[in-house]
Amino acid sequence: MKKVLALVMIVLMLIPAVSAGTIDGSARFLKEAAKSSQQTREISLAIMALSEASNDLEWDIAPELDNLVTTLLKYQNPDGGWGLYPGETSNVLDTAYAVIALERADPIVGALRVEGVRNAINSGLSYLLSSGNEGGWGYVPGTPTSCYPTLVTIWALGESGYTYNSKVVREAIKYVENTTTCEIPEYEALALKLIAYHSTGYPVSNETIESVKEILLNDGNLKMKERAMLTYALVLHTPIDFDTARILIKLESYSKSTNNLVYWMNTPDLFSSTELVATTSYALMAFSTSFELPPVKGVKNPYEMPCQELKNLQNPDGGWGLGRNEPSDEKATYYALMSIQACYPEKESIEKALAWTRGAFERDAVWMRQERRMSVGYYYALKTLLMYNNLTAEEKAQAEELIRSVQLDYGLWGNTVLGPQPYETALAIKALRELGVPANDSLVQRAKEWLLSISNGGWGTHVTTKYYSYMLKPDVLTTITVLEALSEIASQEELQPHMDWLIEQRINGGWPYWKTYYVWEKNKEFPGTPTVELTVRATDLLMDHGYNYTNETLEFVMNARDSGAIDNKTIELASTINYLSRFQYVPPVSLYDVRSALDSDVFGIIAPHMDAATVNETIDMLNDLFSGGFIALNTTTIGEGSYIVMAHYGEYFVRPYNPYLKFHLTNETVTVGNVTVPIAKAVILIPGKTPKGVVLFVFYEQENAEIAKEVFTTGFIRYIRGNAMILLNENGKVRVIVVG
């Protein structure tokens, strides 16, 4: 009795105050309460709850558990069982509770080398198995089968690895299912039944789970112990949803606290220490089961650039070839030098590349004079030298004169076999413009007129004969090059048909040379393979004309990098570096980070489609649940702090705030990670990172606005987890899918 009174004194000293954290506070209470008890059942329940909460605490509970387990081991009788108090005759009920407690604690205290835990469990199991009747257990061996000891023993066997396929468990469950009454209160029996069934894997119907929710939400006569036990049973069987969130919030609202201690009192049984410890233990197990800390894992920078791979492809002569060990090439070297600037370039490497480029530039000039054609190599060598300001004014004038001198006709470049070519003409115009020739130069205007006159949808190889001229199948490379040349000298209206053609060529997230190509030998058409170079160039070009493919291209580029598609391909590697270098590193972020920030940061609430009353209701609930601050904003702009953004699909790009998570929209579906669901039925929760805070995106269609609202008003926001969450509306019920 002395120990009981000591515990009562602890309770009477508690004065309600602000909780320091439900899980932390109740764990602190239980470890102190268990020290003040000699009851096997009390110590066992405390061990169970503290073991369940061990991963959710910021402090190491293992030493405390070690002490409690050591105490419990001392209480074990020679027959393998435990009594209500040390030295008392063994009974089934206390032995079952002790076995459960030791099973829960064993993985945690095992590191501290507590001896005999496994042996104690095995001895306890032997006692239980030898004490049973046919179909169940009485309170002590030889007494009639009773509901309460049978339920707890099923639970103990389940914790020890027995399933409902085991004969002893199967027979005991059969007894429970056929029993209409139990000697303990109805709801305690229901809770123990669900807990025991969960431990053995015995299925429980959805109707039973829904009935438990109904009891917890609407029965005002529940005792606190019944509420705690049923809540724990519920969270074992069902993922967190809006109803479960309401139930957990309701249970938490009944807690009492002072300083850093939290407990639940089974009023009016104030002086029943068992009820106090049991109620708090089941409540802590409910919260610990529903709570989840983020997994510890290293995360690779999603924008990591393949710099070393590109550097390794540089040839001894200083240039880069199109691939490993291939002859140095002007275009490959230009792309490499343009991109390697983002990779902490070595001065010696750049100087060698420029020396090679200078030689190539001079050789290409000789070839142009001899062949009287525009050289692709000369164009890229010129761009490289201009990029590094490596040409004198005299050399620039000579380059302009050379390009003008190799025209086939005024404003047209090509070859004498096929005639003027869109690609070579575009390269010449781009080179002249970069050398300072104005857009209104008559030669430039002549080239523009010709290019626009020969096609209404893309450009490719052009054939000119004595009697007629025609375009072969347009290709993406030529079309992009021409559009780049015309972008500043032609109107949007003049370019629009070609923009439309280019957009139509997109396939599998990128742009290939041809969307499809025909193989005569196989008499079959095949889809083209998108490249990073063409995809990045097309994206940049289209962005200048109002078409934004940033997110899609970023995903394509990262996939190409990670799949090995760009390995040993200089231009592809360089294009990848070029694109990824535009994005600042964003630290990895998850819903765990958002949940943590809700207790510390000031959040701006952006909800352009929610009425003021709904926003205010949301803010009121957030203020009740968390310690942070929440302010409604009359803006749609995300700044540098922390935000909750409730918006329709497509109104915000996720990638700048969370490049780690796959998020893709079509007209009918949304893909989050590896999960694809219908947009019309889904509310999506996605975390993001800003320079000085976090952002929680809540995306929804208007018909699901009520679900978006209930994320906050039900208290569900307290239990967000994973890399993202999908709330799926299925026939009026919300199913929760955790992504990652």
Q: Any residues with CB less than 8 A from the CB of 153 and at least 6 apart, and which?
A: 92, 96, 128, 132, 136, 137, 172
Dig out the tokens for 515 from the structure: 């969307």
Identify the DSSP state of 462.
E
For the chain, the 3-state helix, strand and coil shares in percent, each to the nearest 5, are 50, 15, 35
What pLDDT is stored for residue 191 in this prediction?
A: 96
**Can you tell me the mean pLDDT for 451-463?**
96
Per-residue pLDDT band for 11 (boundaries 50, 70, 90) equals: very low
What pLDDT is stored for residue 294 in this prediction?
A: 57
In angstroms, the CA 453 to CA 244 distance is 67
Residue 202 pLDDT exceeds 80? yes
Note whether 147 and 181 are within 8 A (CB): yes
Burial class of 441 by CB neighbour count within 10 A (0 to 12, 13 to 18, 19+) = middle
In angstroms, the CA 127 to CA 102 distance is 15
Q: Mapping DSSP to helix (H, G, I), strand (E, B) and coil, where does residue 682 land?
A: strand
At residue 661, φ and ψ (nearest 5 deg) are: -100, 130
The residue behind tokens 């439309």 is 500
Note whether 159 and 198 are within 8 A (CB): no
How distant, in Å, are the alpha carbons of 449, 553, 587 from that of 443? 10, 35, 51
pLDDT digits (tens, 9 = 90+) for 34-90: 888 899 999 999 999 999 988 888 788 888 999 999 999 999 999 999 999 999 999
What mean pLDDT, rounded, does the chain reach? 90
Query: Which of these, 492, 532, 496, lies nearest to 512 by C-alpha position?
Result: 532
Residue 22 pLDDT exceeds 90? no
Per-residue pLDDT band for 8 (boundaries 50, 70, 90) equals: very low
In angstroms, the CA 33 to CA 46 distance is 8
What pLDDT is stored for residue 10 in this prediction?
A: 38
pLDDT digits (tens, 9 = 90+) for 577-607: 999 998 877 788 999 999 999 999 999 999 9
Per-residue pLDDT band for 346 (boundaries 50, 70, 90) equals: confident
Identify the DSSP state of 261.
E
In angstroms, the CA 547 to CA 219 distance is 57
Residue 158 pLDDT exceeds 70? yes
Q: Any residues with CB less than 8 A from the CB of 343 and at least 6 apart, and which?
A: 305, 307, 310, 311, 577
**Can you tell me the mean pLDDT for 674-681?**
94
Per-residue pLDDT band for 6 (boundaries 50, 70, 90) equals: very low
What pLDDT is stored for residue 709 in this prediction?
A: 95
Residue 295 pLDDT exceeds 90? no
Per-residue pLDDT band for 298 (boundaries 50, 70, 90) equals: low
pLDDT digits (tens, 9 = 90+) for 496-549: 999 999 999 999 999 999 999 888 888 888 999 999 999 999 999 999 999 999
